[in-house]
């Protein structure tokens, strides 16, 4: 008789735990944002030498979107990454959105 009640009891325990599990979840939990391709390229290949301070130092070389693009292109060439125009443009847009909000347009 105990064996016949075991599946029912197990189902009841799992159901109760599931209900309590949803109560334990944070109320304002936000879904984790997926990193963009540009963010992944930058964090994989660039952040090792660049911390955020490099983007607002006094003697920065970036003055507009084209100089930002030129710096991205230059550094990917120095590292031998072989990025095409698409990757350079994506990382340029990412950096402008992240650090260089006030750049003049091309």
Residue 31 belongs to some domain of the structure: no
Number of domains in the chain: 1
Residue 23 belongs to some domain of the structure: no
Domain hosting residue 61, numbered range: 37-98
Residue 2 belongs to some domain of the structure: no
Residue-wise pLDDT for 20-32, tens only, equals 555 555 666 677 7
Residue 75 belongs to some domain of the structure: yes
Residue 58 belongs to some domain of the structure: yes
Residue-wise pLDDT for 45-104, tens only, equals 887 776 655 665 565 778 899 999 999 999 999 999 999 999 999 999 999 998 888 776
Residue 92 belongs to some domain of the structure: yes
The C-alpha atoms of residue 61 and residue 106 are separated, in whole angstroms, by 15
Residue 18 belongs to some domain of the structure: no
pLDDT at 56: 58
Identify whether the C-beta of residue 61 lies closer than 8 Å to the C-beta of residue 67.
yes
Q: Bigger pLDDT: 26 or 41?
A: 41
């Amino acid at each position: 008789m105990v064996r016949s009640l075991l599946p029912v009891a197990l189902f009841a325990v799992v159901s109760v735990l599931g209900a309590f599990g949803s109560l334990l979840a944070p109320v304002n939990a936000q879904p984790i944002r997926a990193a963009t391709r540009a963010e992944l390229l930058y964090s994989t290949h660039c952040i090792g030498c660049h911390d955020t301070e490099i983007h607002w130092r006094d003697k920065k070389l970036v003055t507009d979107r084209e100089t930002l693009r030129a710096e991205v292109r230059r550094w990917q060439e120095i590292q031998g990454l072989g990025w095409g125009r698409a990757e350079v443009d994506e990382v340029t847009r990412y950096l402008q959105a992240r650090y260089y909000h006030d750049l003049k347009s091309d």
